[in-house]
Amino acid sequence: MKSDRSAGKVTLADVGRVANVSAITVSRALRKPEMVSPKLRQRIEEVVAELGYVPDPVARALASDRTDVIGVLIPSVTNSVFADVLRGIYSVVEGSPFSVQFGNTRYSVLEEERLLRIFLSQRPAGLIVSGIDQSEASTALLTQARCPVVQIMETGPAPVDMMVGFSHRDAAHDATRHLIDGGYRRIAFFGARMDPRTQRRLEGYTQAVKDAGLFDESLMITTPRASTVELGCQMLSDLLARTQDVEAIFCNNDDLALGVLFECQRRRIAVPDDIGLCGFNDLEMMAVANPPITSVRTFRQEMGRRAAEMVLMRVAGEEVPEPVVDLRYELMARQSTRACEEGRRRRVP
Amino acid sequence: MKSDRSAGKVTLADVGRVANVSAITVSRALRKPEMVSPKLRQRIEEVVAELGYVPDPVARALASDRTDVIGVLIPSVTNSVFADVLRGIYSVVEGSPFSVQFGNTRYSVLEEERLLRIFLSQRPAGLIVSGIDQSEASTALLTQARCPVVQIMETGPAPVDMMVGFSHRDAAHDATRHLIDGGYRRIAFFGARMDPRTQRRLEGYTQAVKDAGLFDESLMITTPRASTVELGCQMLSDLLARTQDVEAIFCNNDDLALGVLFECQRRRIAVPDDIGLCGFNDLEMMAVANPPITSVRTFRQEMGRRAAEMVLMRVAGEEVPEPVVDLRYELMARQSTRACEEGRRRRVP
DNA sequence: TTGTAAGCGTTATCAA
DNA sequence: TTGATAACGCTTACAA
């Protein structure tokens, strides 16, 4: 008699009993059909269907010391940037026998480390982590991990294993150059959250304005708060309360940019004629705003897709031809940064 | 000698050996400390720390026939509505020994069913599913599930187990009434995706306009496409190409409403004077748009939080005092629906 | 309070 | 090609 713990679950042994073969043969028939004679294979398949056998992933994991779970660590579940990445990952994983498990690090390196330990104890098939700023302990854990690891969202000099991202510094630098080239001189920076990637965007901005001799610390507004549209409104209000001498604003992301746009509309500040405006990420709405807002397009779904593909390839034993990928970015120049023909005039003399 | 399969992993038996106790005592010391004498407990804790023992959740799951994983099935990973729900769930689960695993059903009942089978085979501690429109098979699976189940996002007459949501029909009805009460007569409905919840919003709208004798099928625009801001722009353009006789628009969600607003700005259509505008969900940006947009606030984080709490209570063996919760909604009336003092005039006579 | 023995459902290993 | 046996690391049931 079966123990009552198992609650009537159909096991490999049950299938074997009915099909008159051993459990291990059933296991093989399901995992490596070519190793079982056609005759037996068919009989087993029939019994599996008849009994409604479903393999137990937990038992499989314990016995084989591996799972079909790909662990994904992202800093935020609400940020649409990461939602896009997840969509990319799902698009690849959905067609495979693998599944995805996330962890939400909430932009905390310590939380990331804690989650990493938990995930690793679950024998993941692969691991996808965000960014390149892991703690020393996390880096050690990842290096020792006995599964493929992909760092996403960013590129950097020392990949733990594989990597797919882009340079936030370069992207911000180019966006700032775009404003400078458009004739804007007094260019502000609005930054929220100030996570490592935002920091590097700030560096790119700073470099560009310094190189052009346009650096002015009083034009930088940053906050550790998460970015919202409302925050964009407030930042513009704060800046204008301090100085009217602003010609353009580079926002660390599109939420802020949208807030700036709304606030400009309320204050009858013409975009791009009074103030030029550039966002970051190129959310869908940027292209249809009034006016359309210039932004830096990043390939978020593609990052997720590529990362998942890399993991699957390695799990399948294939070699990944390009284990470090820089996906770049694209400056989507729109009406919000159309510079005047004869150079920018200051808004207030 | 240990088998090489385990790759040097520290086990309960290892800890026991060093601490001079049996493995089961170590197990108890970690799970039910009060059952172990203080002396042994302390010695064991020291050895655990010394050896860096980490419990193996896979082995635990196999032995105890349960996991600490709460399965969550949502229709979309990119829709910010569900992102908010997830945040609520995380806020509760993060402080517990439980973890979350999602599935993305992509608004497909069949995919939901498939995922449900997978999840159930993994002995979840609890299950949170979206909506009340599961397939017959899924409902059967959920009914038989040996774990707590919560349906979220919606309320309905026949909960499988527990439920926390609100009535989309009532919410849409009230929003439409708000427009009618504001003096608007020619009220359009814009709907995207047309999933079951959107359908019920449409029903609420239809009921309200019919009751007021204002029903006009030609004012309803729906599409199976996912909602985007751009789609909102297009829908307005389509509607206006067909008729100028429109006084207000109730959008099935805020993305569409934002698109309508941008398109109105471009066409110099004054909101709310030429056209009244109401969204659904009350995303953060609605309050700071220009003008601020009326929307129906729903308590998405709260839904996630409550659902997770219900699961945890039941897992802990406690009784859930209120297993079916209607969280209601709140109409956030803003400038975009400010009706004229002396009743609405038609925009075009 | 602590320990022994027997699983949990699967797969690795080695033998037939 | 098939099977017997022994893990995998932990917990349940029961005994001391």
Question: With helix as H, strand as E and coil as C, how does chain B read?
Answer: CCCHHHCCCCCHHHHHHHHCCCHHHHHHHHHCHHHCCHHHHHHHHHHHHHHCCCCCHHHHHHHHCCCCEEEEEECCCCCHHHHHHHHHHHHHHCCCCCEEEEEECCCCHHHHHHHHHHHHCCCCCEEEEECCCCCHHHHHHHHHCCCCEEEECCCCCCCCCEEEECCHHHHHHHHHHHHHHCCCCCEEEEECCCCHHHHHHHHHHHHHHHHCCCCCHHHEEECCCCCCHHHHHHHHHHHHHHCCCCCEEEECCHHHHHHHHHHHHHCCCCCCCCCEEECCECCHHHHHCCCCCEEEEECHHHHHHHHHHHHHHHHCCCCCCCCEEECCEEEECCHHHCCCCCCCCCCCC
Backbone angles phi, psi at B145, to 5 degrees: -55, 140
Nucleotide nearest to A41 (CA to C1'): D1
Burial A271-300 (b: 16+ CB within 10 A, else e): bbebbbbbbbbbbebbbbbbbbbbbbbbbb
Count of CB pairs separated by less than 8 Å, A with B: 115
CA distance A120 to chain B (A): 10
State residue A340's pLDDT score: 40
Contact between the CB of A13 and strand D at under 7 Å: no
* Residues 282-301, chain A, touching B (beta carbon < 8 A): 284-285, 287-290
Sorting pLDDT into bands at 50, 70 and 90, what band is B244? very high
**DSSP-based three-state secondary structure for A52:** coil
**DSSP-based three-state secondary structure for A133:** coil
Percent of chain B with pLDDT over 90: 85
pTM value? 0.91
Sorting pLDDT into bands at 50, 70 and 90, what band is B226? very high
State residue B8's pLDDT score: 67
Residue A71 bridge partners (DSSP)? A101, A127
What is the β-pairing status of strands A220-222 and A162-165? unpaired
Contact (CB<8Å) A7/B290:
no
B228 chain-A contacts, CB cut-off 8 A: 284-285
Q: Which two three-digit tokens encode residue A242?
A: 């301090």
Q: What is the pLDDT of residues A243-278, one digit of tens each?
A: 999 999 999 999 999 999 999 999 999 999 999 999
For residue A272, whether the previous peptide bond is cis, meaning omega lies within 30 degrees of 0, is yes
CA distance A233 to chain B (A): 8
Contact between the CB of A60 and strand C at under 7 Å: yes
Alpha-carbon gap, residue A68 to A98, rounded angstroms: 5
State residue A347's pLDDT score: 34
Give the angle B186-B189-B195 at the CA atoms, nearest 5°: 165
Q: Can you give the distance from the CA of residue B95 to the C1' of nucleotide D14 in angstroms?
A: 35
By the CB < 8 Å criterion, does B61 face chain A? yes
Q: Which two three-digit tokens encode residue A278?
A: 């550039």
Q: What is the pLDDT of residues B127-171, one digit of tens each?
A: 999 999 999 999 999 998 989 999 999 999 999 999 999 999 999
CA distance A224 to chain B (A): 18
Contact between the CB of A5 and strand D at under 7 Å: yes
Contact (CB<8Å) A67/B83:
no
Smallest CA-to-CA distance from A298 within A197, A203, A210, A208 is with A197
Burial A51-63 (b: 16+ CB within 10 A, else e): eebeebbbebbbe
Nucleotide nearest to B121 (CA to C1'): C9
Percent of chain B with pLDDT over 70: 95
Contact between the CB of A35 and strand C at under 7 Å: no
Smallest CA-to-CA distance from B295 within B272, B273, B275, B278 is with B278
Q: What is the pLDDT of residues B163-214, one digit of tens each?
A: 999 999 999 999 999 999 999 999 999 999 999 999 999 999 999 999 999 9
**CA nearest A77 in B: which residue?**
B83
Q: What is the maximum span of chain A, computed from C-alpha positions, in angstroms?
A: 93
Q: What is the pLDDT of residues B257-266, one digit of tens each?
A: 999 999 999 9
Owner of token pair 């700005």? B265
Contact between the CB of A36 and strand D at under 7 Å: yes
Q: What are the residue ranges of helices labelled H in chain A?
A: 12-19, 23-31, 38-51, 57-64, 80-93, 109-120, 136-144, 168-181, 196-211, 229-242, 254-267, 300-315
State residue B94's pLDDT score: 86
Distances (CA, A) of A37 to A21, A69, A128, B82: 12, 31, 39, 48
Q: What domains can you pick out in chain A, each with its CATH number?
A: 12-55 (1.10.260), 66-166+300-318 (3.40.50.2300), 168-297+331-342 (3.40.50.2300)
A67 chain-B contacts, CB cut-off 8 A: 58
What are the mean pLDDT values of chain A's consecutive 10-residue runs (349 residues total)?
56 93 93 91 93 92 92 92 94 89 91 90 93 96 94 97 98 97 96 97 98 97 97 98 97 98 97 97 97 97 98 93 98 85 35
State residue A348's pLDDT score: 31
Burial degree of A214 (CB within 10 A; 0-12, 13-18, 19+): middle
What is the β-pairing status of strands B295-298 and B329-332? antiparallel
State residue B208's pLDDT score: 98
Contact between the CB of A67 and strand D at under 7 Å: no
State residue B118's pLDDT score: 85
Nearest by CB: A61 against B58, B94, B285: B58
pLDDT at residue B342 tops 80: no
State residue A319's pLDDT score: 93
Alpha-carbon gap, residue A329 to A332, rounded angstroms: 9
Cβ-Cβ contacts under 8 Å for A268 (sequence gap 6 or more): none
Alpha-carbon gap, residue B277 to A340, rounded angstroms: 35
By the CB < 8 Å criterion, does B219 face chain A? no
State residue B78's pLDDT score: 84
* Residues 68-127, chain B, touching A (beta carbon < 8 A): 77-78, 80, 83-84, 86-87, 90, 94, 99-104, 117-118, 121-123
Q: Can you give the distance from the CA of residue B39 to the C1' of nucleotide D13 in angstroms?
A: 25
Looking at this protein, which amino acid is placed at residue A295? S
pLDDT at residue B317 tops 90: no
Helix (H) or strand (E) holding A130: strand A126-130
pLDDT at residue B248 tops 50: yes
Mean pLDDT in residue range B96-111: 90
Nucleotide nearest to B13 (CA to C1'): D9
- By C-alpha to C1' distance, D6 is nearest to B3
